[in-house]
Amino acid sequence: MASDRGYDTADFVGARTALGIAPHVAAKTQGSAVPEPQPIKTAEGYAVSLRRRKMIEEAFG
């Protein structure tokens, strides 16, 4: 599930993880709720999600 930086909260990330859904949240640089070590951030799908999201946002920018 791809989400922007505004969804980088402990409640959102925890609820998705409990359901077995990998939350592809654009992590904040400080105070991120994405767990460390970074099993979510190191997944190939996470990197693809961030690239695709950037492409979409550039079209509107």
Of residues 27, 29, 25, the one with CA closest to residue 45: 25
Instruction: Provide the sign of the torsion angle of the four alpha carbons 4, 9, 11, 14, taken in this order.
Output: positive
Threshold 0.75, pTM exceeds: no
pLDDT tens sequence across 2-59:
777 778 888 988 898 899 887 777 777 777 877 765 666 677 777 787 788 777 777 7
What HEC string does 3-29 produce? ECHHHCCHHHHHHHHHCCCCCEECCCC
